[in-house]
Structure 1
Amino acid sequence: MTTLPTAPPTAPELDHEPLLLLASASAGRRATLRAAGIEHSTLPVDLDEDGILAAARERAAAGAPEEVPTAAEEVLLLAREKAHAATSRSEGGYVVLGCDSMLELDGEVIGKPHTAERAAARWRAMRGRTGVLHSGHWIVDDRDAVDGGTGATFGATASCEITFAALDDEEIDAYVATGEPLGVAGGFTIDGMAGPFIERIEGDPHAVVGLSLPLLRRMLAEIGIGVHELWDEARTAPPAGG
């Protein structure tokens, strides 16, 4: 079941509605867009992610067991569901972006731990090892045709390899006690308190925070939008005087 917020998408710091609507409550994703100067509003959606994935796995197992979704496909599925849920809730006229992330380690998908016990166990399994972080992106072009809307709905996944430091138990327990890893994919945030515990990243660095800026640029281009068209005008305006 999908639970959606009652408040409409807004961007109180702007005097107009941004074109991009992010279907996520992730502080990391919002910060990534802000740092890149990309105007956006947000409309987080609350999905039964476990239920969605379980249903997809059951359908695949019943029809074609060899087609059970991979981790990269699962994050894309959840990103799609988030984008479509936000689209149905919004008033229209947006380019809606849904995102989801998961860590894959030895073929096992590691999502949000939710409990301290699970977070600690996962960190003990991850320490000193390398996993693959998958970030799914899904776009729904809900603009009116007169505004250039295409009605397109499509997605893509960005991935990168992450090597974790060989932490000792004291470090793991201290990190888990902060509560930070409980509600994030893989049980870590590179832009947060786990930053010192990430030894190396190979691949798209933005994928680690769950929103790939290069991938977003390419996806926007497919519907005729240059990423520069979404830049905050206040940040791109030349300084006054001179």
Structure 2
Amino acid sequence: MRFVLASASPARLAVLRAAGIDPEVRVSGVDEDAITEGLPDASPDELVTALARAKAEAVAATFTDPATLTDPVDPGAAAATVVVGCDSMLAINGRTVGKPGTADTARSRWAEMSGGTGALLTGHAVVLVRHGEVVGEAADTRTTTVRFAAPDAAELDAYVATGEPLAVAGAFTLDGVGGWFVEGVDGDPSSVIGISLPLTRRLLAGVGVAVHELWRPALRAADDTRTGDRA
């Protein structure tokens, strides 16, 4: 089965690779601002889920030609493709924020977050394509509380100068330089990095895909060997 990550995020890719999956990466190219503007009354949960679903569906649409969906092991069999899309936002003081984009915005975000907490919401969507048709979809959101440190002015200037907080939801990372300024998380750390492994596992199961079937061949072979030893 082909596993496709509908995201350009290196953090999400790293989480999946560390967890035994080597996904194919395809960027959706969806207009996130247009989707957000089209859902003015959506709750934060609804919005991040809608964005994740839009990304997954856009990439899944590229796998609808049966001529391209052949199993490399058995050329006569139609292959299945599972696509995972994600989107993250930070909720602070009753409003949601995405990527700052500019140094000034990143500083403003940190002035608001410093010494406090925020809710990191990550929307997840899974689309299963088989025989050139979408045969299953599942989506949900995971929310994790992040407890922020209070960096001093010099620390914050140095962090903003790295450029990292400008391009990530909430202006911080857990697995990068921003980790110096996160006191802790209450919930799922992988979701804060960008993709919740527990939630993705559950959504995959919801469309009939067992996560261990997606692990890289060496891990599956080791599992088969252990199963044989127990037989």
Asked if Structure 1 and Structure 2 have the same fold, meaning a TM-score greater than 0.5 normalized by the shorter chain, the answer is yes
Partner of 2:61: 88
SS in 1 for 2:144: strand
Q: Percent identity?
A: 47
Partner of 1:186: 170
Asked if 1:137 corresponds to 2:110, the answer is no
Partner of 1:160: 144
Asked if 1:75 corresponds to 2:45, the answer is no
Pick aligned residue for 2:11 from 11, 28, 40:
28
Counterparts of 1:221 and 1:45, CA distance in 2: 23
Deviation for aligned residue 1:226: 1.1
Partner of 1:125: 112
Asked if 1:41 corresponds to 2:24, the answer is yes
Pick aligned residue for 1:100 from 65, 82, 87:
87
Give 1:226's aligned amino acid.
A
Counterparts of 1:218 and 1:55, CA distance in 2: 29
Partner of 1:221: 205
Deviation for aligned residue 1:221: 1.0
Counterparts of 1:129 and 1:197, CA distance in 2: 11
Kindly report the root-mean-square deviation, in angstroms, between the aligned alpha carbons of the 2 structures. Answer: 1.9
Q: What number of residue pairs does the alignment pair up?
A: 210
Pick aligned residue for 2:216 from 218, 221, 232:
232
Counterparts of 2:38 and 2:147, CA distance in 1: 31
Give 2:119's aligned amino acid.
V
Counterparts of 1:114 and 1:159, CA distance in 2: 23
Counterparts of 2:131 and 2:165, CA distance in 1: 40
Counterparts of 1:105 and 1:99, CA distance in 2: 20
Counterparts of 2:61 and 2:118, CA distance in 1: 35
Q: Which has the higher strand share?
A: 2
Give 2:130's aligned amino acid.
R
